[in-house]
Amino acid sequence: MASDTHDRKVQQLARELKQKGYNVQADINGYKTPTGIGQRGYVPDILATRGGRTKIIEVDTPGTEDQDQLATFRRSASHRDNADFEHVTTKPRRK
């Protein structure tokens, strides 16, 4: 199921960032949910901060990309000091 693949990837990235010393908020169980961004209040999958740097990360499975949401996250990162946006597309598991 696509959402399982999505959630596994978000969990993996959140764990890796936490191990690297980032303060991680993630839109999955076990983490504080990030605050919405933009007029529509899009919630990124991960918002991670460390030493004044911010990472906005959105994870999608193939075919689930929301271009307006992605543009909002890109714009938000470009208007913040020391912020980056990363868009990650998962590869479904083979059976």
CATH number of the domain that residue 53 is part of: 3.40.1350.10
Closest CA to 12 of 94, 77, 91: 91
Specify if 46 maps to a domain.
yes
Specify if 94 maps to a domain.
no
Domain count of the fold of the chain: 1
Range of the domain at 49: 2-89
Contact between 10 and 45 under an 8 Å Cβ cutoff? The reply is yes
pTM over 0.75: yes
- Residue 41: beta bridge partners? none
Specify if 95 maps to a domain.
no
Specify if 64 maps to a domain.
yes
Reported as a single tens digit per residue, the pLDDT across 24-78 is 999 999 999 999 999 999 999 999 999 999 999 999 998 889 999 999 999 999 9
Strands 83-89 and 53-60: parallel
CA pair distance 14, 74, nearest whole angstrom: 19
